[in-house]
Structure 1
Amino acid sequence: MGMPENKNELYNNAKQVLEEILSLMGLTGSVFPSDEFTATDENGEISSIGLNIEGEDLGILIGRRGQTMVALQYIVRLIMAHKMQVQVPIVLDVEGYKQRRCEGLRTLANRLAEQVKTRKAPFTMEPMPAFERRIIHITLADHPDVITESIGAGESRKVVITPKTLPQN
């Protein structure tokens, strides 16, 4: 089986998988499409399907620093790849946590960029997951005064924000 005909087919299959997992976990929640995380590429092909889970007491699905949500997202991706015979990035959000986190990271990135610019000194952020580092990099990609790079390995990877022109000693 190739790429599904439309995003509704992907969404409905992903929703069914996710609802079954929630049921097995003894949790009650509703799954809705998330336009924030649904995307298509330049050819109009689906590049990601965003899903948001809404309900009560779903903090357990988010976990510490979103780690449980990332693990659940991985499981749903594996099941969908097996079921649909195609790799489709599924992006999960729980009660808008990831969306709020993205907005907060964009604000933080801009604030830190201004500090780095003013102090003319690099700033190393705390370790964060790949999707969060990507938000920092994208947010500051066109910033006129700073550059970003990821350093470290595994779960210790972090973003360093550096002035484009460091003072010469």
Structure 2
Amino acid sequence: MKQERTTLEVIAPTVEEAIARGLSQLGLSQEQVEVEVLDPGSRGFLGIGSRQARVKLSVKAAGEAQASVRSDVSGAGTLEEEYPTEAGMPLGQWDEQKALEVAQRVVGELLEKMKVQARLRVRIQPPQEENAQPAVWVEVQGDDLSILIGRRSETLNALQYISSLIVSREMGVWVPLIIDVQGYRARRERQLRILARRMAEQAVLTGRRQVLEPMPANERRIIHLELRDHPDVVTESIGEEPNRKVTIVPKRHSRRP
């Protein structure tokens, strides 16, 4: 029987950034994968109407399965990447203590420019998956900080991305950075995991695929990871940004012609 290829789907501001991050996650050179541009993205006008690029990397030779993949409806592994890299920014080791200091200063200055009063706590988050890097975690605490989260966490994700770029440029290498506001990401992750299990039960009970609400890539990724080992369902992402969403499909349904 023909073996399914392992694939990696990555979303980033440009095609080049998406390819670079995907190769880093796979630990492979570009010659070892086939690259398919699913969406070249668009910069829009003054940032309005912009759309991120999306690429899929397929490993040419059969390799060891990664813990960080999920099964899509065809059975091949897919992962949506949460942290895009900056174009031209090298990947490599970085000084953790210096990164903590730079991150605290950068995020603090950005919040000051936004006229937001808050307290910051920074720490190193160990790698959560095989072959992943540690990340700098910045916890923002204060009164009435909901303005920093925004609809579908759009404001928070934008702040996180801009901060990542600035920190990485100062460090000279790409530094994964996560910003949380008053424990929002941890609460949201718990909610999404509960939602994933409940909708998986619904899919199995009804025999019908369950389509979730549109979510950003990092939230879709939580759904995929929560259900990647589920015995009775598989997950896939459908649609285009910013309305891309997760579908939970009963396995017996996914095998139908």
Deviation at 1:22, TM superposition (A): 1.2
What stretches of structure 1 move > 4 A for 4+ residues in a row? Answer: none
Deviation at 1:11, TM superposition (A): 1.5
Letter in 2 for 1:4: W
| Residue 26 of structure 2 is aligned to residue 26 of structure 1 | no
Match of 1:15 in 2: 104
Match of 2:146 in 1: 59
Deviation at 1:145, TM superposition (A): 0.5
Contact 2:94 2:175 in 1 (8 A): no
Return 16-25 or 113-122, whichever deviates more. 16-25
Deviation at 1:42, TM superposition (A): 5.1
* Aligned mates of 1:96, 1:110 — CA distance in 2: 22
Match of 2:94 in 1: 4
| Residue 224 of structure 2 is aligned to residue 137 of structure 1 | yes
Please provide the CA RMSD for this pair: 2.2
Contact 2:156 2:179 in 1 (8 A): yes
- Given candidates 50, 74, 79, the residue that maps to 2:161 is 74
SS state at 1:148 partner: strand
Query: Which consecutive residues of structure 2, in runs of 5 or more, have no partner in the other structure?
Result: 1-89
Matched length: 165
Match of 1:50 in 2: 137
Higher helix share: 1
Letter in 2 for 1:119: T
SS state at 2:237 partner: strand
* Aligned mates of 1:143, 1:42 — CA distance in 2: 20
Query: Which consecutive residues of structure 1, in runs of 5 or more, have no partner in the other structure?
Result: none
Match of 1:160 in 2: 247
SS state at 2:235 partner: strand
* Aligned mates of 2:245, 2:141 — CA distance in 1: 30
Deviation string, structure 1 residues 22-75 (Cα, Å, up to 9, x no partner): 11211111111366xx233657x8432211100012111111121100000011
* Aligned mates of 2:256, 2:167 — CA distance in 1: 53
Deviation string, structure 1 residues 87-109 (Cα, Å, up to 9, x no partner): 11111111111110011000000
* Aligned mates of 2:137, 2:145 — CA distance in 1: 18
- Over the matched positions of the two proteins, sequence identity in percent amounts to 43
SS state at 1:128 partner: coil
Match of 1:110 in 2: 197
* Aligned mates of 1:22, 1:58 — CA distance in 2: 11
Match of 2:54 in 1: none
* Aligned mates of 1:59, 1:140 — CA distance in 2: 30
